[in-house]
Amino acid sequence: MSAGKQEKHVQCAKADGKEICFYGSCYKNTVIGEPNFKTDMSWKVSLANPNIAVATDEKGTQHKGTWTSVYDEGFEVDVKDRKFFAFSHFNNGASQCEATHPGWHRDSKNPDKNAWGCYTGKKESEELAEEHLSLLSEEELATHSRMSMLQFEAVLEPNSVKAYKQPEGEDHMFLPEHDLVRRINAKQNSWKAKVYPEFEMMTVSEFNRMAGFRPAALLADTRPARPQADVFLEEEVSHLPDQLDWRNMDGQNYVDPVLNQRCGACYAASTVSMINSRIQIQTKNREKPNLDYTQVLECDRYNQACAGGFPYLVEKFTQDFGLTKSGKCAKAESELKELGEGRADHEAYVRVTKFGYIGGYYGGSTTAEMMQELHDNGPIVVGINGGMELMHYDSGVFIQTGEGENGVNGKGIRNDFEEVYHAVLVVGWGKDGNGKKHWIIKNSFGPGWGENGYFRMALGGDTDGITSLTSAGKPVLGGSNYFNEEAKSANKQVPTHK
């Protein structure tokens, strides 16, 4: 790693500027490449399951912190006074998760401080370093060992997972799925499906990009194994109300309007909606921001624009750089000074003080924790695998019937469709006439889709993978120098009087 003495816009890699294509959509590479920094020191870090990091720094001093994977993108480590993030390595489309591309490290509490640096990581062993074992309790070691065995049973062959792929061939128009809709509606009475004429105006690639942000098939390969499955226990949430809806909380609506997303931008649309809504909640609707999610597509170096991304990394970007009122890219304080009178459009309006996966790490969420976070702080972002069936949702409580899979009873579906994860916003929960609970979920397919842009899904357990990619952040109204100003304020000495 390099010394942490640079500004946040430091370039850690020699990016080639070429296009990288993820599942049918391409973006210009500005962050991946060979290292572009001087090595000043090395650390040794052990990553224990599920989320404990132990590091030996350049002076030989040991520190204990936390870590999480970020789906199949990479991992973030927070230890000593540093926060590290890097993308996992890939080459010619194949994942090489034993190493990272050049990433960034910074002061763990203050992203606005000129304390950024660069680093790369390489796996030395599947085992924890001997020197780090003494920092873990017996219970922590037992949990690590138990989860390691579960993961070992599901390990893949090296380089068998594709990190990305090129678009394939010439595209064709989406075909209406009338037969699929008839089969779904005949099979159950929990929800209704319908054909949406607007889908027929899309190519199959456009439809697939709108449906999600990464193939759901990777979930089993990347999600940390749990000591036990998520079992929804009513007694864990007995102190919470039977119904909750942030669209009508004491007569107030704290949720921003439904929009129709561009391309594969569900991850950006849902996360910015979470930020908008939580600002409304915190200010009791005195502030009703309508932040443009497309600035994430244009500005966020941690995600891949229309080619997809992750809510966790949008939250990270908002903490590190911020979102602007204008929709233009937020700039660091030094860059704003160079802009002079043109700085206003690039001044951050919202930052995030805390963010992360509900439960503390990727794959660690439970239904009870999701409900508690939703109740205490507002809407949360989740990833779901609703597939082709969810795309045709009209009303009711959604459940998978299996009819949306290719080759079902020899019928299948008319269009080529890859199972994907789709990011959406949970705004509350309710009960049906039989007393069964369901989530209330905001989509980003426009107000003409589903129940005025919303849908409902059964609450409890890991229905359609809903507990796997759950995250939230605490937004704050703050500019591009917010964290520096907060640090100065905290360091001011309070005068004493005799």
- pLDDT at residue 498 above 50? no
| Residue matched to tokens 């233009």 | 328
Q: Are strands 348-357 and 103-107 parallel, antiparallel or unpaired?
A: unpaired
Q: How far apart are the first and last CA of the chain?
A: 49
The CATH code belonging to domain 178-477 is 3.90.70.10
For residues 62 and 135, give the distance between their C-alpha atoms in angstroms, rounded to a whole number.
9
3 state SS of 272: helix
Per-residue model confidence as pLDDT tens digits over 258-270: 999 988 899 999 9
CA distances (Å), 410 to each of 34, 77, 296, 413, in order?
A: 49, 47, 42, 10
Question: Rounded to an integer, what distance in angstroms lies between the CA atom of residue 311 and that of residue 381?
Answer: 7
Angle between helices 266-282 and 311-320 (to 10 degrees): 60
d(CA 36, CA 491): 35
Q: Cite the residue boundaries of each domain of the chain with CATH code 3.90.70.10.
A: 178-477
pLDDT value of position 421: 84
**Spatial distance between the Cα atoms of 321 and 314, rounded to a whole number of angstroms:** 10
| pLDDT band with cut points at 50, 70 and 90 for residue 209 | confident
Query: Is residue 210 pLDDT above 80, yes or no?
Result: yes
Q: Which residue has the higher pLDDT, 185 or 150?
A: 185
pLDDT at position 137 over 80: yes
Distance in angstroms (rounded) separating the CA atoms of residues 414 and 180: 9
Across residues 303-313, what is the average pLDDT?
91
Q: Say what the alpha-carbon torsion angle 339, 344, 346, 351 is, to the nearest 10 degrees.
A: 130
d(CA 114, CA 481) in angstroms, rounded, equals: 11
Looking at the chain, the domain(s) classified CATH 2.40.128 span: 13-153
- Residue that is written with structure tokens 């509606």 in the block: 185
Q: What pairing do the DSSP bridges indicate for beta strands 74-79 and 214-215?
A: unpaired
| pLDDT given at position 138 | 96
**Contact (Cβ atoms closer than 8 angstroms) between residue 412 and residue 315:** no
**Does residue 292 register a pLDDT over 80?**
yes
Distance CA 272, CA 111 (A): 20
pLDDT higher than threshold 90 for residue 233: no
Report pTM. Answer: 0.93
Question: Contact 438/459 with Cβ under 8 angstroms?
Answer: yes
Domain topology for 13-153 = Lipocalin (2.40.128)
3-state helix, strand, coil in the chain (%, to 5): 30, 25, 45
Is the predicted pLDDT of residue 221 greater than 70, yes or no?
no
